[in-house]
Chains A and B, each alone.
Chain A
């Protein structure tokens, strides 16, 4: 059978009515758990995976696909409405999405996220079906030096999230980089900056930092500003649907986000969040409405959300064709696949063709189901903003602590004989940090980005140099690395050049030091 025939057979299995119900339950559960602040997709999938074991292989597979996409999507809802992303990949979504929600445009923001996720999921899943083996070949040819070049490019694009002051943006980034050093150094096994505390040996958990800075920090900011005039959130202003203008501005961003997110997700050391950074930076450069960025530009939601979902599908490629889990979520899924009798690896497409194509069809069905479920729900989600603040923020804090405790329940601290969770203490500490940073006009996102990119770039650089036995020329050895450096240089120099030519109002904001 050719690819189309196999896919059709897969659909025939996925579209049986009881499988549709399983898909619906999966999507609902995934969204319901994923939407809780502080509970990211990895924990969602880990929690809900056992629920699927009770069904037959096809049923559990399709329910699982629903949980996966539902969990991925659920995270963006709270980050848009409440500025409380539950995972690193939806941090960028919060940047513009929450600004939109504050202006009463939460509906369109959620809609563009939902449709963007659907479009990206559709294209990326289809692409996975047709080009997987071929693209994976290219992806594994990426060496440490190429990854390092990619990280350099990522660092350059971070400036897009800096806000109005480069000084404060870079400071926030360096705080994140400093946090990234904490823990056992992977290459030498030695502890760095752990101060003899065992809990710090594994480093700072990105999820804990992101949830603390955003969810706890945001709660403190809102509480401290009580009675302030500027904090009135408008739940809904105008239509909760996207206007023609919104559509026109969204669809190119969806496609670009998909194009950026998919290959990065497919790389063995890519990761979903890096695709969202690139997408945000690209939208910010290409937009016709630069003045709206930082104040709720719809492209800034559409692009990164599409990139996030496309890379989620991209992640499945190395997972299925190589048995290579590239994210925490993927590692949990690998365990799930083995339970379903799928043995990911190069022989998967020949040995388990039927199940693989059922999975791919399930993903497409789940993706569609997600759209069907979430578009009508937008009206309900937006009303979250009308929940009285005491209950809303109490709920956010409750789920933030629950997610942190659930992921790391160690009661390793001790104060006056009371045992406590060190991880929760860090959550509180970083929450206060988030409040202080906001109070002094520091952007939050670069802190998390620094924590993600710092260790990645360091490890790749040191791997490259160790393999070459110390020869630095290895860094510019491959054409790929060289082209990435050229793009990075262009991203810095071109705006500068424009600015020097006096044409740079568009870009001046990015490079401007103060005010």
Chain B
């Protein structure tokens, strides 16, 4: 056994040289998840570009990131070396879990990447376009079953927003929650549900293969010729973005320094090539523009979660 451990040690040592930590990034998710991958990609880019000598990633999973968020806000206050990864999912989770710590308790730095949701139907579905779906939804909301991620998550929120935008009672949305987009994909492919709604990446290859028909994207821009919801006459624009934030109570100079580091990283070749391999869309946005965007997202999410009946 000792020999085996030694082997682990040797190959581990090859992988990571040890330096003093410049930044610690908290991924408020389990190893392997989306936020963990984001945190580790930032780690890779920061070190490879020489922006930071060493970056450590810590994982604090649980409750849509709110457990990590609470721990970060209370323990890292004023620490200019501490960063946390977060995203739109956290906005919803803070509301549904009635989390005492919110995004106001940390210092958002920049939105880094984003992904648009896509609404799909099986190739043999009678629904040809978004118009058909809207008509069916108006005729009998219960007859349209939506497969997506967990209740109160971004997929559910978009389904609720779509219903509301076309004048259907959002509480009547027949939303079937699956654990993760993968299971939802199986349900759509197997024809178990009427439509599927999840991140574009989850459905991308099936759309390309012609197994699924994409009706609309939830984001601002078209992807591969798929129209956005606004273009189909449904006034909804939501992107599932991921961001990086710093600790509360840091000085403006410290915030500016972190923002500069992150901006440098986001413009680096390493970061671009990571986005390429992971299939992530660059949505870099910082400063006041990001703050405005964040406030708008929080407001619309609060309204729709109340409309769906998940938040009081």
B-binding residues in A (CB < 8 A): 25, 28-29, 31-33, 35, 42-43, 46-47, 50-51, 54, 139-144, 184-191, 198-199, 201-202, 268-269, 318, 322-326, 328, 331-332, 335, 338-339, 341, 343-348, 380, 384, 406-412, 459, 463, 466-467, 469
Contact = CB atoms under 8 A, between A and B. Distances in A.
Contacts of B211: 346
B186 A202 contact: no
Contacts of B145: 466-467
A331 B179 contact: no
Contacts of A332: 31-32
A466 B62 contact: no
Interface string B87-104: 000000000110100000
Nearest to A187: B177
Interface stretch (B187-195, B213-221, B286-294): B187-195
Contacts of A380: 1
Contacts of B7: 25, 28-29, 32
Contacts of A191: 97
Contacts of B143: 469
A257 to B, nearest CB: 25
Contact of A346 (B14, B60, B61, B205): B205
Given A189-B151, A323-B182, 15 more contacts: A51-B11, A51-B12, A51-B15, A186-B150, A189-B177, A198-B97, A199-B62, A201-B67, A328-B32, A332-B31, A332-B32, A339-B277, A346-B209, A459-B177, A469-B143
Contacts of A384: 1
Contacts of A324: 182-183, 185-186
Closest 5 CB pairs of A and B: A345-B205, A189-B152, A32-B4, A189-B151, A268-B186
Contacts of B151: 185-189
B21 interface: no
B96 A189 contact: yes
B233 interface: no
Interface residues of B, number: 64
B190 A410 contact: no
Given A268-B186, A325-B182, A201 B62 contact: yes
Interface in B108-123: none
B208 A467 contact: no
A466 B32 contact: no
B60 A341 contact: no
Nearest to B5: A32
A270 B183 CA distance: 11
A407 B58 CA distance: 10
B208 A347 contact: yes
Contact of B177 (A32, A139, A186, A268): A186
Nearest to A419: B75
Interface string B230-264: 00000000000000000000000000000000000
Contacts of B99: 198
Given A144-B192, A324-B186, A346-B209, A198 B31 contact: no
Contact of B277 (A29, A47, A328, A341): A341
A335 B150 contact: no
A198 B192 contact: no
B97 to A, nearest CB: 6
A338 B191 CA distance: 27
A338 B59 contact: no
A339 to B, nearest CB: 6
Contact of A143 (B15, B40, B192, B205): B192
Contacts of B58: 409
28 contacts: A25-B11, A29-B8, A32-B4, A35-B4, A139-B186, A140-B189, A142-B190, A143-B190, A186-B179, A187-B176, A189-B150, A189-B151, A268-B182, A268-B183, A322-B185, A326-B182, A338-B277, A338-B278, A343-B279, A346-B205, A346-B209, A346-B211, A406-B31, A410-B61, A410-B71, A412-B67, A466-B145, A469-B142
A94 to B, nearest CB: 20
B37 interface: yes
Given A199-B62, A268-B182, A466-B176, A322 B189 contact: yes
B205 A343 contact: yes
Nearest to B278: A338
A412 B174 CA distance: 36
A134 to B, nearest CB: 15
Nearest to B10: A25
Q: In the complex, which of the residues A187, A338, A459, A463 has the most CB atoms of chain B within 10 Å of its own CB atom?
A: A463
A323 B205 contact: yes
Contacts of A29: 4, 7-8, 11
B107 to A, nearest CB: 21
A66 B35 CA distance: 27
A322 B186 contact: yes
A469 B277 contact: no
Contact of B186 (A25, A318, A348, A409): A318
Contacts of B11: 25, 29, 51
B167 interface: no
B309 to A, nearest CB: 9
Interface in B52-107: 58-63, 66-68, 70-71, 75, 96-97, 99
A35 B33 CA distance: 24
A235 B152 CA distance: 54
A334 to B, nearest CB: 8
B30 interface: yes
Nearest to A347: B209
B310 interface: yes
B142 A335 contact: no
A145 to B, nearest CB: 9
Given A184-B150, A268-B182, A463 B176 contact: yes
A198 B206 contact: no
Contacts of A325: 180, 182
Contacts of A198: 62-63, 66-67, 70, 97, 99
Contacts of B180: 325, 331
B273 to A, nearest CB: 12
Nearest to A32: B4
A113 to B, nearest CB: 18
B8 A33 contact: yes
A202 B190 contact: no
A11 B258 CA distance: 49
Nearest to A47: B31
